[in-house]
Amino acid sequence: MRVLVNTTAEVWRGDDHLPDLAALVAFADLHGDQSGSDDVRGVLSELARRGRTADLHAVHALRVTVRDLIDHPDRDYD
């Protein structure tokens, strides 16, 4: 998940590394098979290829949530 968070402009102090669906597909192709499990190999890439703009926005929102969890691991999220 840290790899996903690292795609934000805030981390890179520059451009967002997932500005569009093509970038999301490229990210999924590069990082999606790192689980090592044959059961999930390629699944993330396939999902990214079927993604829509709303899915990209959901990934952007997920990055914010994950970054908050990483930055504040002791926070109570109830």
Task: Of 17-21, 27-31, 73-77, give the lowest mean pLDDT range.
Answer: 73-77
- For the chain, how many structural domains are there in total? 1
* pTM (2 d.p.): 0.77
Spatial neighbors of 77 by CB under 8 A, at least 6 apart, are: 69
Each residue's pLDDT tens digit, 33-62: 665 666 666 888 899 999 999 999 999 999
78 found inside a domain = no
Quote the domain boundaries for residue 62: 2-71
Banded pLDDT at 72 (limits 50, 70, 90): confident
**Average pLDDT estimate for 8-30:** 87
Q: Which residue has the higher pLDDT, 11 or 25?
A: 25
Structure token pair of residue 67? 């970054």
55 found inside a domain = yes
Q: Hey, how many other C-beta atoms are within 10 angstroms of the C-beta on 64?
A: 12
User: Which of 30, 31, 7 is closest to 20 using CA atoms?
Assistant: 7
Do residues 30 and 36 lie in contact, with contact meaning Cβ atoms separated by under 8 Å? no
